[in-house]
Amino acid sequence: MGTTQIKTFTIGELSSYGSVKITTIRHYERIGLMPEPPRTLGGRRLYDARHIGRLNFIRHARELGFTVEEVRALLRLTDAPELPCKSVDTIARQRLRAVDDKMVGLKRLRAELSRMIAQCEGGRVAQCRIIETLSRKSFARA
């Protein structure tokens, strides 16, 4: 009976498979999102399919706007698959609320920019309504 050998990857290959920069992988290792991989005698990192899966999870979660701490919490939950997913649902709902709040703010921002542009008469900068508006009033955040 032979031993089963696990396919390993270099950090460059992991970077390619995960569509992230090598510096990002090292950062995730430093902050504990990615586990430290074993190293060769020469100090080269050796990654396997589990690292690819975890990196893809982190990248996708970050693309969806989850904070590093939210990703950390989600990863802890993935490490305990027997737990109910209520905690995962709570984290996702909080992220959705944050996205909704940001959309409200962006709509206000858009309306203010549209109003300023509509007032522009296309003359000289000295009489520019956009410059005048920016100079006299700050955009109200709510």
Give me the domains of the chain, ranges plus CATH numbers. 1-66 (1.10.1660.10)
Which pLDDT score, from 0 to 100, does residue 35 have? 93
pLDDT tens, position by position, 61-83:
999 999 999 999 999 999 898 99
Q: Return d(Cα 22, Cα 58) in angstroms, integer.
A: 14
* The two structure tokens encoding residue 119: 């007032």
Q: What are the average pLDDT values for consecutive 10-residue runs of the chain, which has 142 residues?
A: 76 93 96 92 91 96 96 94 93 96 95 85 78 70 48
Dihedral sign, Cα of residue 85, residue 87, residue 91, residue 93: positive
- Which region, left, alpha or beta, applies to residue 30 given φ > 0 means left and ψ of -120 to 50 means alpha? alpha
Which pLDDT score, from 0 to 100, does residue 138 have? 59
Question: What letter represents residue 76's amino acid?
Answer: R
Which pLDDT score, from 0 to 100, does residue 4 have? 65
DSSP string, 52-93: HHHHHHHHHHHHTT--HHHHHHHHHHHT-TTS-THHHHHHHH
The model's pTM is: 0.76
